[in-house]
Structure 1
Amino acid sequence: MISDILSPILIFCWIILGILSFLALLGNGFITAVIGHQWLQKGKIAPCDFLLSALSTSRFLVQLISVFGYPVYFNISWSDVYYYILQVMNFIWSFFAIVSLWCGTWLSIFYCVKVTNFPNRLFFWLKTRINVLAPRLLAMSVAVSTIVSLPSFLSHFENRKWCNLTEIHPVNNCPKSIDFFSPLLLAFTVINFSLNVLASLLLLTSLWRHTRNLRKNGAALKDLSTHVHIKVMKFLLFYLFLYILYFTGMVLGTANILEFGTPGRLVTEILLSVFSSAHSTILILTHPKLKKTLLFAF
């Protein structure tokens, strides 16, 4: 076991995973600290910053739980107590992973609605109300996700109770909590990815309509609105690319195809950490207040 852990490929994977985990914790912690400090100072927070702080906080907690769960690769202890601690960590990790997905989705939709322009009454109403609707929609999404997850939660504890009554050793025979939450995690990941794709398509359509109108009027194609459209479009496309990597890692991780401690399993963890670390970095560099605070700190 020790020789496998110390193999060059595994050492390289652990180094990459350690760097990405550190960047994810640092980046999301920085966003939460800066926005939280401003919130305490002003006593209020903009809807965009609220979504951003909720996203960074949930991702920070997800990454923190993952870091504490990494010792499972080394099989440090497989006692019943250690097993049940891992189950609790799996539940908490799954919850905050779902929350982070919804936060990222509603943040993308918020940017999309703010930038796009369509001659539609419903869209105009949504554009004027998005500041109020976005936090409420986030709360509703998290609440619905929690309610939908309750049957899996109860089912897991019923199975664990059965294992205890039949004296089956939980470590080797009882199903893990992640086995119950895998279908839900994948379902919520697909739903959120679809909503992000829809937001990107709406933004692309709005950009195409805007540039077409500019050509008809003989105006310059590079006006302020076009610049904003392209900037947000790049942000959303990059987010979708990272989302694909995250979804790939989620599928491989929850399918239980790869064994713990193998390079392939570590690659799935790397894909999950890339999403959090890279996106938090982009958020900091594209957010005026965060970027200013970062430059001032250095």
Structure 2
Amino acid sequence: MSYKVDTALMLVAIGETLVGILGNAFIALVNFMGWIKSKKIACIDSILTSLAMSRICLQCIILLDCVILVQYPDTYNRGKEMRIIDFFWTLTNHLSVWFAACLSTFYFFKIANFFHPLFLWIKWRIDKLLLRSLLVCLVLSLCFSLPATENLNDDFRRCVKKKERINSTLRCKVNKAGHASAKVNLNLVMLFPFSVSLVSFLLLILSLWRHTRQMQLTALGYKDPSTTAHIRAMKAVISFLVLFVAYCLAFLIATSSYFMPESELAVIWGELIALIYPSSHSFILILGNSKLRQASLRVLRKVKTMLKGRNC
């Protein structure tokens, strides 16, 4: 790639990362300050904070990989240093997906209206169950990350940087199958938390449909608190599902880049698309959470006042 293309893509990656860190850091800071003031933290705040922290780490790892690929190609070719990045990328990737699944589950049990005994039993205990689930998610992510990183092929990065060299072409072709198999298994593992979010979304639709039918029968109208809560939760879950699908596609582009003519360019483009998921979803969560939305409005008002004061 030319120097101008490298510079432009790096600036885009840095911009996406800064925007994402701003949104996720805001979520974590607001919940942390609330925790300090009240000496306790709600279950939803714990999940949002854990999700925000995992995504900040994920964005930093993706940006670091992108910077090393462009600016330090010799380091990118070495397996030992890059295995550390592979490990933390896999770990934070799994953590963010599992925590998002916990968030979807929380919305479902707190908002949906079903009268099955099992559902009611879990609904009454969902706060304690999900707080424990956060620790389980951390353990599972560590368990999946260690063997996944060990199975990643050391020659992959050398194939990306040296694809044009004749003496490395045969070696790259031989190792394609093993690397592709490791990546497929890695993505299949993430299908479980994704399926949990998808099932939560579908059950929320069913709950909303039953609720609107009941509103029709009682002639109470549609704009009641329960309907509003259903719609907000569904927006949060469906935005995660859509962005996560785009992220997985970008992840596949980046990790399958040595099948493509421009391997290095494919990796960077894949990482740029992947950064959209943790960056944009944080602002969707802020808008969908009343406490975070009010805090963001207060910050915007203060910034507006400060700017007016400087202009006077």
CA distance in 1, matches of 2:67, 2:179: 17
- State the number of aligned residues: 281
Residue among 33, 39, 53 paired with 1:37: 33
The CA RMSD measured in Å over matched residues stands at 2.9
Q: Higher relative contact order by CA 8 Å / sep ≥ 6: 1 or 2?
A: 1
Cα deviation, residue 231, structure 1: 1.9
Tell whether 2:289 aligns with 1:283: no
CA distance in 2, matches of 1:151, 1:238: 31
1:263-282 correspondence to structure 2 within 5 Å: 264-282=266-284
Q: Please tell me the residue identity of whatever aligns with 2:81.
A: I
Residue 227 (structure 1) aligns with:
228
Q: Please tell me the residue identity of whatever aligns with 1:285.
A: L
Residue 163 (structure 1) aligns with:
none
Residue 238 (structure 1) aligns with:
239
Q: Please tell me the residue identity of whatever aligns with 2:295.
A: T
Tell whether 2:109 aligns with 1:109: no
Cα deviation, residue 184, structure 1: 4.3
Residue deviations 1:31-85, cap 9 Å, x none? 2222223223333211110010000001001111222222233252415996422
Residue 13 (structure 2) aligns with:
17
Q: Which moved more, 1:38-47 or 1:19-28?
A: 38-47
Residue among 62, 65, 71 paired with 2:61: 65
Residue 204 (structure 1) aligns with:
205
Cα deviation, residue 30, structure 1: 1.8
Residue 163 (structure 2) aligns with:
none
CA distance in 1, matches of 2:179, 2:22: 26
Q: Secondary structure at the match of 1:261?
A: helix
Residue 294 (structure 1) aligns with:
296
CA distance in 1, matches of 2:148, 2:237: 32
CA distance in 1, matches of 2:202, 2:136: 24
If the length of structure 2 is used for normalisation, what is the TM-score?
0.79
Unaligned runs of 5+ in 1: 161-171
**Aligned sequence identity (%):** 29
CA distance in 1, matches of 2:181, 2:142: 14
Q: Please tell me the residue identity of whatever aligns with 1:239.
A: F
Q: Please tell me the residue identity of whatever aligns with 1:53.
A: T
CA distance in 2, matches of 1:79, 1:19: 24
Cα deviation, residue 235, structure 1: 2.1
- C-alpha contact 1:58 1:96 (8 A) present in aligned 2: yes
- C-alpha contact 1:91 1:178 (8 A) present in aligned 2: no
Residue 88 (structure 2) aligns with:
92
Cα deviation, residue 111, structure 1: 0.8
Residue 6 (structure 1) aligns with:
4
Q: Please tell me the residue identity of whatever aligns with 1:41.
A: K
Q: Which moved more, 1:15-24 or 1:86-95?
A: 15-24
Q: Please tell me the residue identity of whatever aligns with 2:52.
A: S
* Structure 2 CA distance for partners of 1:27 and 1:184, relative to 1, 3 Å: farther
